[in-house]
Structure 1
């Protein structure tokens, strides 16, 4: 773990729970794509930088989930590097309490204020094309989170953040976190058409052909959607929908899974309603979901 792997003349990634990209800007200066899950991840990245006599100039965050920005504060305090994040992700990066608050839908209990869901604050600025090194470009990857972005570098290496999961992850967790299902599907269809020397997904193996894995993720979304439509054949409250999905997929309920899977299921329900496959009714002080037959 935390092994440095070279994939191009100027391109590297650090093998870690959420892969970290390292891109050489010149003989001495480098930038990062994300920073890992916490201070310890940041410290290990710093050791890699020092071992190669590299100077960190910037961190480009793909999105603001804690496992991608957790090393920001440590690395910024140690190196003075700039941090950039796209769109709304910049606000979440500067104010990490927004993530557990958003997931919970209110003021989060202490159970949700931990490093997996709430990173330490760091000083981020808005990501724009003009702050990127020459030869590096932004790839919009909305869906998993608000304004998630990936990057293509000067070696034609593409860093894909969390826009897809490995087969093993899909089989283990079944319902992966998604904020906007429609945008996520559009992103996956776009990713299927991309060409690169190598693709670096944050939570899957590096590959030169990303299309099969993108299709596998599309198929999983459609499977979950069909399952939800089946559960909602008769009018049902949200908590019963969630209970049925946890039981059918053999998932273990805890506070983290309740908010992560729960938020995702709400996103599926919104998408299914907006696409005319579900409707809602309000009866006896309850919101009921029902599949349109």
Structure 2
């Protein structure tokens, strides 16, 4: 599979997670997000080489394993490369155990240490602050889009926007109705902020196909995020309950079937994020009853 051109000097490599490639000086190629594992990274490097380019740096938009899992393989081939990431995210990429540890709340069992939650470590450093910058010989603009992760950057190069996981393609939203987030309020605000950008002709989501309809893609994502909030609120309205009880109700309402521990802790975090948003807008209340943390609509 080859790199696909989005504009002169701007490419992407499609996969379960898209990799964004920006050409800088001569044959320099900044790699933005390296995929889940060695397989994606190997194919990405082959495509970059076939295009006559050489990796000049790596930017991870955030620290989820499917966006930096290929770093270690690429570093074996190009050990001199520098890896950049937003604040907080750099710590998780350097110490990946932080991701499953945070989701589980303690040292994670083996079932939560697979490649989807625990990528190989790679030494990340802080990326420049949001705004115009040069990285790996490439000129680009970093845009803060926190919410899906504690902090995340979208990348704009001229008329092309790589939205990372601030926006998902329609198929990805349909497949995963409980779209992951660390902060659902910020997730919505970040998506809405991208809709205000002027002069964007092509937008590439982290998961999905490129489109020329930025406003339409934002609208689809905001509708999906609001649908999750409504499902969580409806679960609480059905009767005061713990997070795990609410998770089961939400999954039933959205026709989600969880079959492994990873899915449970990820979706539990989504429900928790939306509960926090509902608490902060005074639509839900939290209390401790019978040694349980209970959420209800009455204080």
* 2-structure distance, mates of 1:227, 1:53: 49
* 1-structure distance, mates of 2:81, 2:6: 24
Query: CA shift at 1:134, angstroms?
Result: 5.3
* 2-structure distance, mates of 1:161, 1:20: 9
- The partner residue of 2:195 within 192, 198, 203 is 192
* 2-structure distance, mates of 1:245, 1:256: 17
**Deviations 1:104-160 (CA, angstroms, capped at 9, x unpaired):** 12111100111111110111111015552453110111000011101112x421111
Equivalent position of 1:269 in the other structure: 275
Equivalent position of 1:169 in the other structure: 172
* 1-structure distance, mates of 2:159, 2:227: 33
- The partner residue of 1:180 within 159, 183, 192 is 183
* 1-structure distance, mates of 2:177, 2:266: 12
The secondary structure found in structure 2 opposite 1:7 is strand
The TM-score normalised by the length of structure 2 is 0.93
Runs of 4+ in structure 1 deviating by more than 6 angstroms, as ranges, are: none
- The partner residue of 2:143 within 133, 139, 142 is 139
* 2-structure distance, mates of 1:246, 1:120: 31
Q: Is residue 255 of structure 1 aligned with residue 258 of structure 2? A: no
Equivalent position of 2:227 in the other structure: 223
Pairwise mapping of residues 69-108 of structure 1 onto structure 2 (< 5 A)? 69-79=68-78, 80-108=80-108
* 1-structure distance, mates of 2:201, 2:233: 40
Equivalent position of 1:237 in the other structure: 242
Equivalent position of 1:47 in the other structure: 46
The secondary structure found in structure 1 opposite 2:17 is coil
Unaligned runs of 5+ in 2: none
- The worse-fitting range, judged by mean Cα deviation, of 265-274 and 39-48 is 39-48
The TM-score normalised by the length of structure 1 is 0.95
Change (3 A) 1:52 1:126: same
* 2-structure distance, mates of 1:197, 1:101: 40
Unaligned runs of 5+ in 1: none
Query: CA shift at 1:86, angstroms?
Result: 0.6
| Paired residue total | 291
Equivalent position of 1:120 in the other structure: 120
**Deviations 1:173-198 (CA, angstroms, capped at 9, x unpaired):** 21110110111111011111123121
Query: CA shift at 1:207, angstroms?
Result: 1.1
**Deviations 1:229-271 (CA, angstroms, capped at 9, x unpaired):** 2221222122211111122222222211101100110111111
Q: Is residue 150 of structure 1 aligned with residue 149 of structure 2? A: no
- The partner residue of 2:162 within 159, 162, 169 is 159
Change (3 A) 1:240 1:74: same
The secondary structure found in structure 1 opposite 2:83 is strand
* 1-structure distance, mates of 2:59, 2:28: 14
* 1-structure distance, mates of 2:261, 2:120: 20
* 2-structure distance, mates of 1:131, 1:77: 24
* 1-structure distance, mates of 2:156, 2:251: 37
